[in-house]
Copies of this chain bind each other. A is one copy, B any other.
Amino acid sequence: MTYEPKPEHRFSFGLWTVGHPGFDPFGDPVREVLSPVQLVELLAEVGAWGVNLHDNDLVPIDASAHERDQIVSDFRKALDATGIVVPMATTNLFRDPIFRDGAFTANDPRVRAFAIRKTMRAIDLGVELGATTYVFWGGREGVETDSSKDPLRALGWYADAMNFALESKPNEPRADIYLSTTGAMLAFIETLEHSEMVGVNPEVAHEHMAGLNFTHHVAQAWSMGKLFHIDLNDQTPGRFDQDLRFGSANPKAAFFLVKFLEDVGYPGSKHFDAHAYRTSDYEDVKAFARGCMRTYLILKEKAERWNADPQIQELVARITHDDGSMAPYLGPYSAERAAALHELELDRRAIGARGQPYEELDQLTIDLLLGAR
């Protein structure tokens, strides 16, 4: 098994991931800044399929129209030369001081107008580069103090502005960010005028920050037909946004995620929204990028083996055994079912005494994960 990344794996990275120069709140940049063209070349070297971008990852916020066109033209040439595609684009609505109080939910209406206009232009840029998915991350759509903003009005402004894929995050850089989880986003989408056009872009780190099971949230999004994109990385619960290499903080959680995506046949990009440690040089940045994809492929193979393992599958069959005798009573509501159910005799104590071999099954999973079966 070489775990070689191939185009059909649809592995993508953001310009901001492998291009992150290693600054943080307590530290200055440690790596030289590479140009978008250099970053495309780096991604080609490590075997990625796609590159994603915020508008200002490619075109500086102050660029003239002429500069913009030159940058985009150079970038496109690099894409053509390497075969790298742009599956997704997004807008930076958090870095510039104008967004210090939010973009779509800023109290100042001029900021809201600016944010919408910037987003429209960024969509144009994405379309020009071939992106078919557009992501919105409201990194500043929150508060430090609830005295400063009315959450109902903020939600209304948010809804006015939305018609894209949505990403949620509970906090950082704001103390509390609105629509803090994938679930909140999914609910919000249902209130939008063109909800059919809008889905979610869940990120491992963002759900893990709140100590939540990411795979369960992805399952909910998938069951609603709303898994438009996904951000793969890793994160220890209850911490600052770490954006670690995929699978590097908790390989078991990563396994169940990969297994889910492969089992349902998720067709979209596997996008790695992570960055290398600040201790890395660019050789180690490549090790980071290769590691993201390699770990995904290792876990993909393990998922296949899990599905084919006779002892595991015997346990799964036992656990999910259904002799059909309950079929008349279960399923969507009907008056007949309800009436039948009222009469049903069940031996509560006998059923309650029945154990399930979940420790055994989980240990087999650990064995498989660790290569010990």
Contact = CB atoms under 8 A, between A and B. Distances in A.
Given A179-B183, A211-B236, A356 B219 contact: no
A160 interface: yes
Contacts of A359: 245, 276-277, 280, 284-285, 287-288, 291
Q: What's the number of copies of this chain in the assembled complex?
A: 4
Which of A30, A156, A251, A370: most chain B CB closer than 10 A? A370
Interface stretch (A7-15, A72-80, A90-98, A125-133): A90-98
20 contacts: A27-B95, A27-B140, A97-B353, A113-B330, A114-B344, A144-B277, A146-B256, A147-B364, A155-B220, A160-B333, A173-B278, A175-B242, A180-B181, A180-B212, A181-B212, A184-B217, A210-B210, A210-B211, A248-B363, A251-B366
A71 interface: no
Which range holds the interface residue count of chain A?
35 or more
A66 interface: no
A305 to B, nearest CB: 11
Contact of A147 (B171, B247, B365): B365
B370 A26 contact: no
Contacts of A344: 113-114, 117
Nearest to A302: B370
Contact of A351 (B114, B178, B287, B354): B114
A110 to B, nearest CB: 5
Contacts of A216: 151, 176, 178, 180
A145 B362 contact: yes
B357 A173 contact: no
A308 interface: no
Given A215-B151, A356-B284, A95 B180 contact: no
Contact of A355 (B217, B239, B280, B333): B280
A188 interface: yes
A239 B236 contact: no
A246 to B, nearest CB: 10
Contact of A210 (B156, B212, B288, B363): B212
A37 interface: no
Given A251-B369, A279-B100, A298-B372, A108 B354 contact: yes
Given A1-B372, A25-B24, A341 B148 contact: no
Contact of A333 (B170, B193, B223, B260): B193
Nearest to A240: B240
The 3 lowest CB-CB distance pairs between A and B, nearest first, are: A371-B371, A281-B355, A183-B184
Contacts of A288: 359, 363
Contacts of A264: 152
Contacts of A151: 215-216, 219-220, 260
Interface in A289-306: 290-291, 294-295, 298-299, 302
Contacts of A94: 26-27
A151 B251 CA distance: 19
